[in-house]
Amino acid sequence: MSDIAAGSEDALVVVDLQIDFCPGGALAVSEGDLIVPLVNRLLALSRPFKAATRDWHPAGHVSFQAQGGLWPPHCVAETPGARFHPGMDADRVDLIISKGALKDADAYSGFDGTRLAAELKSRGVRRIFVCGLATDYCVRATALDGRSEGLEVVVLEDAIRAVDVKPGDGDRAIQEMLGAGCALEKSVDIPE
């Protein structure tokens, strides 16, 4: 096993742990809320830089069904559903990255059209620990882009959940991330 103690060249990237992606939300991910305590333990670690992405769409976003997209309206900027899960210790986050904010472009990855890569590089980050929602969309895209940015990527398998539009999508996404050189670990194995 690689050394997964989180140090100063590591960053935590919490993906889209928002009300609309949790049970009761507009695009609920089954058990999405169950990762909150695991994410909070990670946010309490002293050393890694902590970033959190949020899906932050304008009304009438291209990904919404009325516009021909796949999804019900979700995470509309400045609405309650776009807030972080109320149980998430969001005050420990160093950097919030909003994405998907352009009406005509979807952005599953936290790196897509954002300053995330530049912020991480300017802080000397070489490895990211990725957790959040959803395994088969924004976690997958963020992890794969992290590799493309030249980062080591550790996906925390106990602190992610999948939409699974088709059964097995989450598992296939994990295989794809592994194929791209991501490591798979459990958040509970990261020491304090």
- Catalogue the active-site residues: 16, 99, 138
Residue closer to Zn ion by CB (options 62, 184) is: 62
Site string for ligand VGL, 15-54 (x = CB under 6 A): -x----x-----x---------------------------
Q: In the set 116, 138, 174, 182, which binds ligand VGL (CB under 6 A)? A: 138
Q: What CA–CA distance (Å, rounded) separates 181 from 41?
A: 25
Q: What angle do CA 181, 5, 10 make, to 5 degrees?
A: 60
Interface residue with Zn ion among 55, 136, 145, 185 (CB under 5 A) is 55
**Interaction between residue 133 and ligand VGL (CB under 6 A):** yes
Stretch of 48-56, 110-118, 148-156, 183-191 lying at the interface with Zn ion (CB under 5 A): 48-56
Interface stretch with ligand VGL, choices 109-117, 132-140, 149-157, 165-173 (CB under 6 A): 132-140
Query: Is residue 20 a contact point for Zn ion (CB under 5 A)?
Result: no
Between CA 92 and CA 43 the distance in angstroms is 6
For residues 55 and 145, which CB has a smaller minimum distance to Zn ion in the complex? 55
Q: Which residues contact 180 (CB under 8 A, 6 or more apart)?
A: 143, 144, 147
Preceding peptide of 134 cis, ω within 30°? yes
Q: Where are the beta strands (DSSP E) in the chain?
A: 10-15, 49-55, 95-99, 127-133, 152-161, 183-185
Strands 10-15 and 49-55 turn out to be: parallel
Residue ranges binding Zn ion (CB under 5 A) = 55
